[in-house]
Structure 1
Amino acid sequence: MTSLYQHGTLAMLMGKQLQGTITAAELLKHGDTGMGTLTGLNGEVIILEGQVYQAQSDGRVNHITDLDTLLPFASIHFYKPTQTLPFDQVDFETLSDKLKSAQLQNIFSSIKFHADFSRMHIRIAPQQVPPFPSLLEVATNQPEFEVADISGTLMGYYAPEIFNGPTAAGWHLHFLSDDKSFSGHVLDFSAINVTGTLQVFDEFVQHFPIENAGFRGMSLDLDGLHAGIEASEGGKK
């Protein structure tokens, strides 16, 4: 059985619950590859080979070695690839089409590949302080960065449409350059010399921060939830 473990929900972030509720140490018990954000939406986190990296909104990248660092939302799994990717070049627009034969539309899956990127367009959420705004409010004013000719690793998850709310439906991707100097949430990309893998999951483990009073008492505008997630996540589905 292959499991994708998720702490918190994207709906929580839409509901202004940005306080950290799991440590990096606890999270790493459930995998060695993943993504998330830190308390107050402080940047974009990517986890590769058990190492945690944070992209800050000023463009800098930190190697997180303090495993007491808290995250409000994260997804993680143990890297056990299902198949090698059947292409050597791809961009965000064609990613789903190139994987159509894998029939991902109704399952959770993860992609991880190294490539040479002629274009990499990312955004990085800036740190917020209490009283916290919603993810949608933050998304209307967040730094974006774009570079050309960069090599690195892209990883992320595909979630079925019916899970839009707990997480983001479609592709949710993060990037880390080889020199660990450029990272963030991927809005668009174009890649060649792609080498990597696809992993599919037969179990989705949703973990809730039940000891957190803010989470237990929050209320959500469900009518606007999906539209808000789409607006805040950006990128292409």
Structure 2
Amino acid sequence: MSRLYQHGTLAMLMGKQMQGTITVAELRQQGDTGIGTLDGLDGEVIILAGEVYQAQSDGQVNHITDPDTLLPFASVHFDAPTQKLPFSSVTFSNLSAQLKTAQLQQVFAAIKFHGDFSHMHVRIAPKQVPPYPSLLSVAENQPEFEAENISGTVVGYFAPQIFNGPTAAGWHVHFLSDDRQFAGHILDFSAEQVTGDLQIFDEFVQHLPIDNPDFRQMTLDFDGLIAGIEASEGGRK
């Protein structure tokens, strides 16, 4: 059995619930690889081999060592690859096409690969303070960064369309450079000399912050929810 664990929902962020509700220590019990964001939507999180990194909206990358650091939303799994990737070069726009034989459209999957990237384009969510704005308004003002000829690791997930709302349907992937100086939520990339793995999950665990009163009292406007998610995620294929 291979399990993907997700704390919080993307719809929750759309509902202005950006407060941290799980600690790094608690999250590590559920996986050693994954992505997320910190309390107040503070940047982009990448988890590799149990180590947690945060890309800040000023472009700085931090190694998060405090186990009590809080996150409102994160997806993690224990790295146990199902198969090697069938390609040695890839772009964001043809990622799904290159994995067509894996038949991902109805399953959750994780991708993790290292490569030499001729181009990497990321965005990073800036930290928010209460009262929190909508995720869509945050997305409209997110700093973007680009790098050329950079080596690093892509990690993230594919989710079926039917789960759009609890999470982001399609690809949601983050990047971390080898020198730990460049990272973020991927909008576009082009890579050569790729090596890595694909992992298919037969179990998706959705964990909710039931002890958080703001979450329990949240009201969600479902009109435009999916369009809002797609706009806030940006660049997913």
Q: Settle same-fold status: TM greater than 0.5.
A: yes
Taking only the aligned residue pairs, the percentage that are identical comes to 74
Aligned mates of 2:70, 2:155 — CA distance in 1 = 21
2:148 aligned partner, one-letter code: A
Give the match for residue 189 of structure 2: 189
Query: How many residue pairs get matched?
Result: 237
Structure 2 equivalent of residue 161 of structure 1? 161
Q: Which residue in 2 is equivalent to 1:200?
A: 200
- SS of equivalent residue, structure 1 residue 41: coil
Extract unaligned runs of 5+ from structure 1: none
Offset of residue 77 of structure 1: 0.1
Give the Cα–Cα distance (whole angstroms) in 2 for the partners of residues 200 and 57 of structure 1: 31
Shift of 1:64: 0.1
1:106-149 deviations in whole A, cap 9, x for unaligned?
A: 00000000000000000000000110111111000010001100
TM-score, normalization by structure 1: 0.99
User: Are residue 105 (structure 1) and residue 105 (structure 2) matched?
Assistant: yes
- Give a deviation string over 1:137-166, Cα, whole Å, max 9, x none: 100001000110000000110000000000
The within-5 A match list for 1:122-161 is 122-161=122-161
2:13 is the alignment partner of 1:13: yes
Query: How do residues 1-237 of structure 1 correspond to structure 2 at under 5 angstroms?
Result: 1-237=1-237
- Tell me the alpha carbon deviations over residues 80-116 of structure 1, each in whole angstroms, 9 at most, x when there is no partner: 0000000000001100000000000000000000000
List runs of 5+ in structure 2 lacking aligned partners.
Answer: none
1:11 Cα offset (Å): 0.3
1:196 Cα offset (Å) = 0.2
What's the CA shift for 1:236? 2.9
Amino acid at match of 1:193: Q
Shift of 1:229: 0.2
| Root mean square deviation of aligned Cα | 0.4
Runs of 4+ in structure 1 over 3 Å off: none
Question: Which one-letter code corresponds to 2:154 in the other structure?
Answer: L
Letter in 2 for 1:119: H
> In structure 2, how many angstroms separate the alpha carbons of the residues matched to 1:33 and 1:206?
16
TM-score, scaled relative to structure 2: 0.99
CA distance in 2, matches of 1:61, 1:147: 14
Q: CA deviation at 1:220?
A: 1.0
Deviations 1:31-51 (A, max 9, x none): 000000001100000000000
The Cα offsets for residues 185-205 of structure 1, whole Å up to 9 and x where unpaired, read as: 000000000000000000000
